[in-house]
């Protein structure tokens, strides 16, 4: 990859540490500071080397004794009354955002925790949007389970993350992942409108799927597209704000609107097996529009494919 060849580089959820931690004690040696930890330093090096924005997932150390939510004391979750960090929940499953100059300009904490996260991580403080320069524009970061109904209990059609993207009129949605390989069940066994724990995170593959297939897991791509329904359902139309409107990071756009907004969706997933758990790969870039209603798959990796995927979005 050459300098200034890309605008955005995305790495998976907990990119440098692995994902399968059994407890707070298990993850402790791998917890990182959001600005000077190994992942932040890696991202800063990549950003300055290649002149691009970088997003990567990492396990964030929850620091005690601070009123700043970035230090991990949001609503006191996981913190004992004496102000010390609860060893059982010592961190957050987070993603760092680094500018082309190497500055850490944002940090997002996973809002919806998967069972594996709940062994050690605290719940984040809600979805966030970051105002970045073109072509990225208003950028929302989610992490893996954020694509699903909260706790697999919320109504399937709540579409929490997609509706947030729609609400803040975002241009780009970036989701680092450790998305699991789907269970080997017939699609008839799973109802996409239900929220059962068997169905919600991993859509069932076709019964005739070849485990040696090097292509993407299409059932997973279809599920992600389904979870983004509010962005491509033609009613109501997802209207675009005027480019002349301005807002601060995390704020709402102006009221002046026009039709035809396109959202770029970036899913960066890992491959392989860790502690007996297999991940589905299938990293993908899609463009999504509601007027006209359209989803276009720009690029996708195979289920077992790893490397650097380039996607050119017009």
Residue 80 lies in a domain: no
HEC states along 69-97?
A: HHHCCHHHCCECCCCCECCCCCEEEEEEE
Give residue 220's domain range. Answer: 127-314
Residue 208 lies in a domain: yes
Which residue in 179, 148, 193 sits closest to 272, CA to CA?
179
Q: Could you read off the pLDDT tens digit of each residue along the chain, which spans 314 residues?
A: 889 899 999 999 999 999 999 999 999 999 999 999 999 999 999 999 999 999 999 999 998 643 344 433 222 323 333 445 567 899 999 999 999 999 999 999 999 999 999 999 999 999 999 999 999 999 999 999 999 999 999 999 999 999 999 999 999 999 999 999 987 554 444 444 433 333 334 443 444 454 556 799 999 999 999 999 999 986 544 554 444 333 334 444 444 344 557 999 999 999 999 999 999 999 999 999 988 888 999 999 999 998 999 999 97
**Is this structure's pTM higher than 0.85?**
no
CA distance 79 to 74: 9
Structure tokens belonging to residue 215 = 């292509």
Same domain, 277 and 232: yes
Same domain, 30 and 5: yes
Same domain, 57 and 132: no
> DSSP states of 169-195 as a string?
T-SEEEEE--PBPPPS--GGG--TT--
Cβ neighbours of 71 (radius 10 Å): 16
Same domain, 280 and 205: yes
Omega of the bond leading into 292 within 30 degrees of 0 (cis): yes
Structure tokens belonging to residue 68 = 């700043």
End-to-end CA distance of the chain: 20
Q: Tokens 């009123």 map to which residue?
A: 67
Same domain, 226 and 307: yes
Same domain, 190 and 310: yes
Structure tokens belonging to residue 170 = 């975002």
Same domain, 147 and 178: yes
Residue 69 lies in a domain: no
Cβ neighbours of 296 (radius 10 Å): 11
Same domain, 90 and 137: no
């Amino acid at each position: 990859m050459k300098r200034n060849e890309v605008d955005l580089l995305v790495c998976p959820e907990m990119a440098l540490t692995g994902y399968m931690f059994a407890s707070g004690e298990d993850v402790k040696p791998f917890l990182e500071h959001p600005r000077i930890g190994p992942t932040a330093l890696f991202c800063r090096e990549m950003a300055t080397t290649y002149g691009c924005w970088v997003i990567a997932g990492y396990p964030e150390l929850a620091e005690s004794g601070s009123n700043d939510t970035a230090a991990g004391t949001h609503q006191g979750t996981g913190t004992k009354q004496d102000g010390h960090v609860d060893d059982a929940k010592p961190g957050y499953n987070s993603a760092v955002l680094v500018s082309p100059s190497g500055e850490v300009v944002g940090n997002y904490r996973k809002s919806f925790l998967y069972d594996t996260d709940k062994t050690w991580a605290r719940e984040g403080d809600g979805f966030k949007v970051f105002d970045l320069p073109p072509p990225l524009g208003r950028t929302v970061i989610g992490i893996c389970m954020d694509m699903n109904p909260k706790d697999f209990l919320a109504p399937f059609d709540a579409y929490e993350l997609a509706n947030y993207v729609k609400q803040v009129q975002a241009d780009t949605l970036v989701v680092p992942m450790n998305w699991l390989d789907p269970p080997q069940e017939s699609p008839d066994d799973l109802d996409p409108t239900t929220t059962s724990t068997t169905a919600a995170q991993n859509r069932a593959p076709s019964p005739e799927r070849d485990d040696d297939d090097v292509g993407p897991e299409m059932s997973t791509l279809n599920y992600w597209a389904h979870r983004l329904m509010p962005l491509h359902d033609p009613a109501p139309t997802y209207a675009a704000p005027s480019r002349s409107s301005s807002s601060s990071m995390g704020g709402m756009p102006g009221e002046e609107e026009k039709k035809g907004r396109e959202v770029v969706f970036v899913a960066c997933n890992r491959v392989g097996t860790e502690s007996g758990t297999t991940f589905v790969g299938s990293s993908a870039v899609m463009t999504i529009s509601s007027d006209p209603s359209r989803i276009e798959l720009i690029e996708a990796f195979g289920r077992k494919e790893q490397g650097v995927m380039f996607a050119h979005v017009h």
